[in-house]
């Protein structure tokens, strides 16, 4: 289970709107200057992200919670979003080159294959958008550690 901490913004009809703070270890990474993730993270002005998560717990607005998604769900989504367009790209470039020696056909085929794979993946994503297996879930309410509890004693 991949977990992330967040704060409850709203609760409605079995869903909780959660705000998470995107954390990145880019500043400590040696390869940050050549990394695309670092460049994208620098372009983003906000590190806050909102999501709707399935919630069958009694949570209140403002509570810290732990949100999770199963690893296999993330793997399936990654395959659909990355592998299928890549297969379309490679197949679109390879098949025309086997049929004809014209150099423009593999380029056009690669573009069409990638676009087709991307549209197929997008259709698949829209098809499973209502599937609860692909939605994040509120796993538990985060408890306050004893060292964080302020103790007041009467004199």
Beta strand segments in 13-152, E: 15-21, 48-54, 64-69, 137-141
Q: Give pLDDT, residue 33.
A: 64
Question: What is the average per-residue pLDDT within 132-153?
Answer: 72
Q: Taking the C-alpha atoms of 51, 57, 58 and 59 in order, what is their torsion angle to the nearest 10 degrees?
A: -30
**Residue 99: pLDDT band by 50, 70, 90 thresholds?**
confident
Residue 154 in this model has a pLDDT that exceeds 80: no
Q: Give pLDDT, residue 145.
A: 53
Residue 43 in this model has a pLDDT that exceeds 80: no
**Residue 1: pLDDT band by 50, 70, 90 thresholds?**
confident
Q: Give pLDDT, residue 101.
A: 85
């Amino acid at each position: 289970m991949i977990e992330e901490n967040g704060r409850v913004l709203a609760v409605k009809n079995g869903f909780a709107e959660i705000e998470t703070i995107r954390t990145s270890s880019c500043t400590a990474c040696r390869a940050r200057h050549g990394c695309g993730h670092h460049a994208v993270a620098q372009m983003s002005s906000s590190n806050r992200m909102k999501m709707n998560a399935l919630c069958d717990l009694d949570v209140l607005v403002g509570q810290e919670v732990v949100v999770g998604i199963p690893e296999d769900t993330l793997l399936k989504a990654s395959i659909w979003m990355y592998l299928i367009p890549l297969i379309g790209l490679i197949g679109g470039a390879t098949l025309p080159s086997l049929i004809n020696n014209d150099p423009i056909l593999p380029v056009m085929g690669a573009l069409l294959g990638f676009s087709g794979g991307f549209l197929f993946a997008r259709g698949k994503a829209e098809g499973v958008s209502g599937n609860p297996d692909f939605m994040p879930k509120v796993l538990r309410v985060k408890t306050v550690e004893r060292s964080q509890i302020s103790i007041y004693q009467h004199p």
